[in-house]
Amino acid sequence: MFKEASLMFIYTETSLHAGSGTSLGVIDLPIQREKYTDYPVLQASGIKGAVRDWFEANNGVEKQKIDLIFGPDTIGGGGEAFAGAATFTDGRLLLFPVRSMMGVFTYTTSCFALNRLKRDLTMAKANADWNVPTEPQGDQVLGVQENGLCEDGKVLLEEYAFDFQANNDVKVIAEWLSQNTFPNGAEYQFWEKKIKTDLLILPEDAFKDFVKLSTEVQARIKINNDTKTAASGALFYEETLTPDTLLYSVVMANDPFKDEANRPNGLKNAKDIMSFIAKLNGNRAQFGGDTTIGRGIVNIRLLNGGAK
């Protein structure tokens, strides 16, 4: 069992395509989704690979340390095989941006997503001093009294109207999210302020519909290099997560699977492993596919900087 754990919050700055392969539906290249909720998800293997790539590209870390943390590359049968000391869970959805008639857009979530976050905070041995309110019923949404989204008691999201209800629990949750999940950079002051007023908790079914139907779907085409026109039969549709989506993954660490005498300095135990991974805190990485067209740029925030 793991000895250290923290939460890694992943804030999308550009559209993110974590693909699930081809599809027979209208969307040729859909994104990864949880089977039982239909929420967008980032599979753990993709997160681990992207984090490993960041360390390999940005820090000049010795291969021995990379292998110790993430596991060695044994493709082709070369090298010693052993498990890496770091573990990542799937990236779970927490906040999803939805177009609003007022305030441009709002951050939406659900009681299910918040309750799951509280459970995962317990896994990371952290505590959140807020309570999840009772799920709103019917066409009601819960929000902060000082919001910039409501007019005459109504909130208009996409083409759907909801009855607004102020709730103090939502205000406390919004304050906690602003302080603990958004990147620390000065460029995020606007977003940290927005979440404090423009957070909405939707009914479960409404939230599920938005995360299913309000993602970006873009038509892409291959150009024939000789004629400079669209190649025949090369039109396809690709789904992406929108910018300003917030996901999180639980990061866990164990003692390295090597004799203590063979462990490099600075990576002797699980606490050292977590401190090493915490170097990612406050930095940008690239997740998913389509990296050469700027997709998948995210900003990382570890809870408490990765420390207890």
pLDDT in tens, 198-220: 999 999 999 999 999 999 998 88
The phi and psi torsions of 226 (rounded to 5 degrees) equal: -80, -45
Q: Is the pLDDT of residue 245 over 90?
A: yes
As a whole number of angstroms, the distance between CA 198 and CA 107 comes to: 6
Query: What is the tens place of the pLDDT at every residue in 100-144?
Result: 999 999 999 999 999 999 999 998 888 888 999 999 999 999 999
**Average pLDDT over all residues of the chain:** 89
Joined tokens for residue 227: 């004629």
What is the model's pLDDT at position 20? Answer: 73
DSSP 244: T
DSSP 219: E
Q: Which of 189, 91, 200 is nearest to 135 (CA)?
A: 200
What is the model's pLDDT at position 160? Answer: 94
Single-letter amino acid code for the residue at 289 = G
Percent of the chain with pLDDT over 70: 93
84 vs 175, residue with greater confidence: 175
Joined tokens for residue 59: 């820090």
Query: What is the tens place of the pLDDT at every residue in 145-199?
Result: 989 899 899 999 999 999 999 999 999 999 999 999 999 889 999 999 999 999 9
Q: What is the DSSP string of 267-289?
A: -SSHHHHHHHHGGGTT-EEE-SS
* pTM reported for the whole predicted model: 0.92
Which residues touch 293 (CB under 8 Å, ≥6 apart)?
Answer: none
